[in-house]
Amino acid sequence: MMKLIMSKNKINISIIVAIIASIVFGYLIIQNGYFESKREPFLKIELTDLSNTYKVGETVSFTIIESGYGGQCTAPHIVIINENKEVFWEYRQIKKCPSFTENQPILNIVKIPPKNSNLTQFIKPGKYLINVDSERAHVSKEITVLS
């Protein structure tokens, strides 16, 4: 009878050890992202706080929001072009890129004009095109400057 009880205890302990080992193994697999699907990188650029019209003497101001997935090393290149296809203003954000950017969420917010920028006031009326390029996305918006 005693052998039967000890035999049952060994079985119960073996089951408990197997369950704990399974839980630990499952936790480690989930933590290492084994079951995560490989998402395709994407980047979306939005221009916010941008008016459709400005007056001569005003300075354009807006916000660029880069969001997506795939790497945090994004840096927008902004060019404002006048009707004659001349560059009115250009700015490239300099960003240090950490080495662990792969497969990470992206969120980069840039205020225009940035501090210590040379963005001047509009001095001529007309149409202007704002182009924003980043490593995988592009957005453009036309604005009008009135006299």
pLDDT digits (tens, 9 = 90+) for 94-128: 766 655 556 677 788 888 888 777 777 888 999 99
Q: What is the pLDDT of residue 88?
A: 92
Q: What is the pLDDT of residue 145?
A: 95
Residue 48 bridge partners (DSSP): 63
Cα–Cα distance measured from residue 87 to residue 127, given in angstroms and rounded to the nearest whole number: 13
Is it the case that residue 139 has pLDDT exceeding 90? yes
- Please check whether residue 144 is in contact with residue 74, taking contact to mean a CB–CB distance below 8 angstroms: no
Residue-wise pLDDT tens digits, 22-58: 887 776 666 655 555 566 777 889 999 999 999 999 9
Residue 127 bridge partners (DSSP): 144
Q: What is the pLDDT of residue 10?
A: 62
DSSP summary character for residue 93: -
Residue 75 has a CB neighbour count (10 Å cut-off) of 16
For residue 13, the SS3 value is helix
Q: What is the pLDDT of residue 113?
A: 86
Q: Could you tell me the two tokens for 69?
A: 């997935």
Q: How confident is the model at residue 4 (pLDDT cuts 50, 70, 90)?
A: very low
Is it the case that residue 143 has pLDDT exceeding 90? yes
The full length of the chain comes to 147
